[in-house]
Structure 1
Amino acid sequence: MGFIGWIILGLIVGAIVKMVLPGRVGGGWITSLVLGVVGAILGGWIGDALFNDGEMSFWSLGSWLLAILGGLIVAGVYGAITGRNRTAS
């Protein structure tokens, strides 16, 4: 799957991450979609580094799982950096 495919998948993953982690990803939908794209690209890079599988299909379950995992990682790091995970006292 090419770079554009990972971007499209990342937009979908961003929406999924926004639904899975509501309130933890600040900045609204735009931020979630951008984090999803970055996460999908990260997931694709990790998958290529670990499995060296070559081209992954857009409809492959592995591509989706790597993109979602990457999106959750990026959203978690973003939340940790911006302090969204802390509870108000």
Structure 2
Amino acid sequence: MNFIIWIVIGGILGWLASLVMKTDAEQGMILNIVVGIVGSFLGGWLLAPLFGTGTINSDDFSVTSLLVSFLGAVILLAIVNLFRRGRTR
């Protein structure tokens, strides 16, 4: 059951990050899930020590862990846009 929740929350976070970064028209549902989950790993590695929390990947479903996972997804999309277009948008 945790796996299904992980995919659903990752998809929602990836979709919200794509709306913020204005890449929603370029991404589908599968890419939103991938961005949400990989962004959560990135946020856990970069931001979780700063906030003192976990991420959705560490089975921590608190507000701060969702924020860290979301910010990681936004950072991931910014990095992808930087390499793809030469700017973050």
TM-score when scaled to structure 2?
Answer: 0.65
- Structure 1 residue 31 displacement after superposition: 2.6
Relative contact order, CA 8 A, sep 6+: which one is greater? 1
Distance 1:50 1:27, change over 3 A: same
1:83 aligns with 2:82: no
> Which structure 2 segments of 5+ residues have no match?
none
Native 8 Å contact 1:7 1:40 kept in 2: no
Q: Distance in 2 between matches of 1:56 and 1:86?
A: 30
Count the aligned residue pairs: 82
Q: Distance in 1 between matches of 2:60 and 2:82?
A: 32
1:36 aligns with 2:36: yes
> Which structure 1 segments of 5+ residues have no match?
none
Match of 1:64 in 2: 66
Match of 1:22 in 2: 22
Once the two structures are superposed, residues 36-78 of structure 1 have per-residue CA deviations (whole angstroms, 9 ceiling, x without a partner) of: 211012223331x4455466631x1101110111010000001
Q: Distance in 2 between matches of 1:50 and 1:12?
A: 23
Query: Is the helix fraction higher in 1 or 2?
Result: 2
RMSD: 3.2
- Structure 1 residue 32 displacement after superposition: 3.2
Distance 1:33 1:56, change over 3 A: closer
Distance 1:31 1:85, change over 3 A: farther
Whose Rg is larger? 1
Distance 1:80 1:26, change over 3 A: farther
